[in-house]
Chains A and B, each alone.
Chain A
């Protein structure tokens, strides 16, 4: 059974078609790329999965459960974490605190029990903070752990968002342009990080990316959207050769990849 099954997903914004009958699966432990020209519906699709948008038609199943009717926090609690194209960080907090807040739902136990058993709670919190510390240094953010996020350069902020998503120990990680605004060296590092997450922690990844070098090296399968429709799906090699894709948008970008 695939980890994520998207079937006949459709969504229109006041008559404007954003997604039309999109279907594809993501297997457990797979890294799948979602590409397409601007306005193809890629971010809209991620927003449907994380329940920021309610699709008009079709189903999304995660781990065998239908996500229809579930709220954003419920879906997050099922093990889906994400990052945003335009960053949604706790800007006034430090890097460490951002990551620690990503752990919030691993504190467990109801309110009253937490008040009555403060020492136990503190031990649990210490464990969570150690976990945050480990994630911060693994993402190469150790040097900036105390820095206020708003004061960091864009590339590092993207990394903080990724670290915060990882703190939720996701089964499925949705990444919206993780390498945007990064130089070649930084984007290579992001590609390596995504690979490592899958190889070592078994995290399944669905990522949107415009940097074709990143997409072609890291993804095992690619889904191409254009005007809200899926126009192709296959391995990077197949996508490179697909006439529909070349016609729709890749064209010369593929040549130098």
Chain B
């Protein structure tokens, strides 16, 4: 029982982690918290669904298209809304992202309707036996996909010029510029990457919850809680924070009450901000980097 709860908690946490990675990516690169991240993920997932049902593309093709589609969504959004605010104070951009939240939210309802629809499952429903416990393939698949994203991100930041440039720009934008880093490009890349990762998280959660224009709200909330737990400035911290949230959420729902399933995320945000605003892991990770 507990093994299953932990496994499905880790799967949930992985989905939160993907969205949290998007949030932290953009925040590190541009100092902006993108409140529209969840809605952009939902919007991208709806586009995938439209490709699947209306355009009649096969599921594997849609899955392959998801990441490039997410990049396009992020790049267009950045160009249209963030670039004009480049020299304005970051709080203006932050308010613009709240506007984007509303726009994507209602645009999705207007285009695709307000009723939840069933999204095809990406993994076989047959559970597999691991260490005596029956674990849903869905959980394993979600964890595997998230792990792949994390590994790709790690390779990107560690080994590519753009990745290194983004790390430099996130630490000191002016110094990075004077070493040849074009910060308008790093901002664009951050939005593209974040949006692609967001769409992947949307595709992973849609089969679990139905595809719905409100489906990302609670995911965004948990992603925020996890990212704050990890210090909001550390990618590994955000992943660990979200895994903790996912597992806790499942355990609380099973052993305390399902009523606390969503509210406890708020509790964690408040507690962390009160007692450890730098996050639980920031210090250790900062030393390692």
**Residues 80-107 (chain A) with a chain B CB within 8 angstroms:** 81-82, 88-93, 97, 101-102, 104-105, 107
Q: Which of A52, A82, A101, A114 makes the CB contact (< 8 A) with B168?
A: A101
Which residues of B sit under 8 angstroms from A97, Cβ to Cβ?
289
Which residues of B sit under 8 angstroms from A114, Cβ to Cβ?
159-161
Q: How far is the CB of A161 from chain B (nearest CB, A)?
A: 9
- Cα(A116)–Cα(B178), bound, Å: 29
Query: Contacting chain B: which of A60-68, A69-77, A135-143?
Result: A69-77
Decide if A76 touches B179 in the complex (CB within 8 Å). yes
Decide if B289 touches A90 in the complex (CB within 8 Å). no
Decide if B167 touches A105 in the complex (CB within 8 Å). no
Q: How far is the CB of B154 from chain A (nearest CB, A)?
A: 12
Which residues of B sit under 8 angstroms from A102, Cβ to Cβ?
179
| CB of A153 within 8 Å of the partner chain | no
- With an 8 Å Cβ cutoff, the count of chain A residues facing the other chain is 34
- Cα(A101)–Cα(B179), bound, Å: 8
| CB of B172 within 8 Å of the partner chain | yes
Which residues of B sit under 8 angstroms from A16, Cβ to Cβ?
none
| CB of B175 within 8 Å of the partner chain | yes
Decide if A71 touches B168 in the complex (CB within 8 Å). no
Decide if A168 touches B161 in the complex (CB within 8 Å). no
Pick the most buried of B172, B179, B183, B287: most chain A CB atoms within 10 A of its CB.
Answer: B179
Q: Which of A73, A82, A115 makes the CB contact (< 8 A) with B181?
A: A73
- With an 8 Å Cβ cutoff, the count of chain B residues facing the other chain is 25
Q: How far is the CB of B104 from chain A (nearest CB, A)?
A: 27
| CB of A108 within 8 Å of the partner chain | yes
- Cα(A81)–Cα(B176), bound, Å: 11
| CB of B209 within 8 Å of the partner chain | no
Which residues of B sit under 8 angstroms from A89, Cβ to Cβ?
172, 175
Q: What per-residue 1/0 map shows which CB atoms of B153-184 lie under 8 Å from chain A?
A: 00110011110110110011011111111110
Which residues of B sit under 8 angstroms from A148, Cβ to Cβ?
287
| CB of A157 within 8 Å of the partner chain | no
Decide if A50 touches B178 in the complex (CB within 8 Å). yes
| CB of B286 within 8 Å of the partner chain | yes
- Cα(A108)–Cα(B160), bound, Å: 9
Name the 8 nearest CB pairs between A and B, nearest first: A76-B180, A107-B161, A88-B175, A90-B171, A105-B180, A72-B177, A73-B182, A77-B180
Interface residues of A (CB under 8 A from B): 50, 52, 71-74, 76-77, 81-82, 88-93, 97, 101-102, 104-105, 107-109, 111, 114-115, 118, 121-122, 125, 148, 164, 168
- A to B CB contacts below 8 Å, 15 in the list: A71-B182, A73-B182, A73-B183, A76-B177, A81-B179, A90-B168, A90-B172, A92-B289, A101-B176, A105-B179, A109-B161, A111-B162, A114-B159, A114-B160, A115-B156
19 extra interface residue pairs, beta carbon distance < 8 Å, beyond A90-B171, A111-B161: A50-B178, A72-B177, A73-B177, A73-B182, A74-B180, A76-B177, A88-B174, A88-B178, A90-B168, A91-B171, A91-B172, A92-B286, A101-B176, A101-B179, A104-B165, A107-B164, A109-B161, A114-B161, A115-B156
